[in-house]
Every structure is written in C-alpha cells, then in structure tokens.
Amino acid sequence: MKKIIFICFSLLLALIEGCSMNDNDKNNSNEHKTEAVKPKDMNPKDLPQVPAFQDEKTREYMVSTKEEEPGYYLLESKLNGFRMLFPEDAEYSDSETSKTYESLFFDSFNKKTNIVMNASVKFYQNESFINEPENMLDIISGKNEYKGNFEKLETKDRDIYFASKQENFDKEEKPSYIFLGYIKSKKQDYLGMEYSFMFSCSANANTCEQNPKDNEEKVKKIINSTTFGDM
C-alpha cells in the first residue's frame, strides 16, 4: 500500500514539475519575443514621442526604445557595421549603401535655440585607404575646405581624429560651426568612419545665439560613443 502511495505521489510531483517547466519555457519564449521586437515593427503610438522614433525612416535605424543617455538613443547602421548615440530630435535625411560603405545623413532642429544641425557619417569596410590617416585626413580636409590640423583622441580600440572650423556662408549674418574628422578601428584593418557636423542658425529665426563649446560637446559625445561591429 505504501509503495502504491509513493508511486502515485512521484507521478503527481513529476506532473507538477512538467507543467512548471512548460510555463517557464513559455515565459522565456515570450520574453525573447518581446526583446526581439524592433522599434520599426512597433506601433508609433507606443514609441517615444520624439522625431527619432516618430519619423518612419529614422526608426528603421533605432535599436530599442531604451534611452541610453538623456536625449540620446542607440542607432545601428543597416550594414550592422557601427552603432552610436543618436539625438532624440534628429531625423533621417538621406542614405547610400554598398558592400563596402554606408553613408547616413541626418538633421535636427532645436526649437528653443533655433539651431539647425546637419550631419553625415560614412562608414567604410574592406577599404585599404581607411588605414592611412594622412590620406584620409587630406580627403576629409578637401571635402570640407579645411586647412588646419586635427586633434587625435586615442581609445583602447579606436583612433579618433577631430577638427573644427567656423564658416560664414553667403547672406548669413551669423557663422556656422563645422566639426569634422574620422574614426579608425584598432581592432580590425580597413574599418572606419568619416563624419561631419554643421551647426547654423535657422534661416527663419529672429533670435539665435550659438555656443560653439556646446556644439563641440554634442559632437564628441556622439563620435566617442561609436563602436564598430565584428565584420
């Protein structure tokens, strides 16, 4: 009799454990499904109410709705070549992609300061010239009509080249500030990215006062956050 009771108890315990495991598997499966949902696949109403997510083209690049730093979210390139912080008020402008490079253009407008930011980044992979700093800096200087030197910022896995210039364009009363340079991977050859950020007063603004230091800090925050994927 005791043996029969013991067998019944064992079967009941196994059944309970089996149900519990199934429930856990379902929960884990649901968690993975939730994590896998990208912003581009979500309802815009459920996304942060900022341009980076409300603009259809821009949210294709956004990794998640998690705010990495106040006002910044994580962006990933279409080639999965790089990730970087992306301002919440910025929007996709244009792009170009091939097997060896990817260009991304984006803009933002600060309604409080009336300052417009026009930015571009160009990622390269498997391109020999990206390993030659002098040639790259000559190319970037030529594109931006820059004749000065570049500051070199070294990290564990990247070399970052940085420069800035002030420009007065036609009919502009106040100058624009341009920040330019490129990032070279130390972990892998022929991998890097050039960048350019320009800050200017909106053409329709009655008042606009720029602080070049604030602009510089914003650019450095973005480029210092850049990481390259395993290509």
What pLDDT is recorded for position 206?
Answer: 81
Instruction: Tally helices (H) and strands (E) across the chain.
Output: 5, 11
The domain tally of the chain equals: 2
Q: Is 147 exposed, middle or buried (0-12, 13-18, 19+ CB in 10 A)?
A: exposed
Average pLDDT rounded to a whole number, residues 132-157: 95
Task: Work out the percent of the chain whose per-residue pLDDT is above 90.
Answer: 74
Same domain, 91 and 142: yes
What pLDDT is recorded for position 43?
Answer: 94
Model confidence, pTM: 0.82
Q: What DSSP designation does 198 have?
A: E
Q: Is residue 41 part of a domain?
A: no
Q: Is residue 202 part of a domain?
A: yes
What whole-number distance in Å separates Cα of residue 11 and Cα of residue 19?
A: 12
What pLDDT is recorded for position 36?
Answer: 64
Higher pLDDT pick, 14 / 74: 74
Same domain, 146 and 115: yes
Work out the pLDDT band at 154, boundaries 50, 70, 90: very high
Residue 178 has pLDDT above 60, yes or no: yes
Same domain, 100 and 206: yes
The DSSP bridge pattern shows strands 72-76 and 191-201 to be: unpaired
Same domain, 189 and 137: yes
**Average pLDDT, whole number, for the chain?**
86
What whole-number distance in Å separates Cα of residue 130 and Cα of residue 189?
A: 8
Average pLDDT rounded to a whole number, residues 52-77: 97
What whole-number distance in Å separates Cα of residue 167 and Cα of residue 169?
A: 6
Higher pLDDT pick, 19 / 156: 156
Domain extent, residue 15, equals 1-36
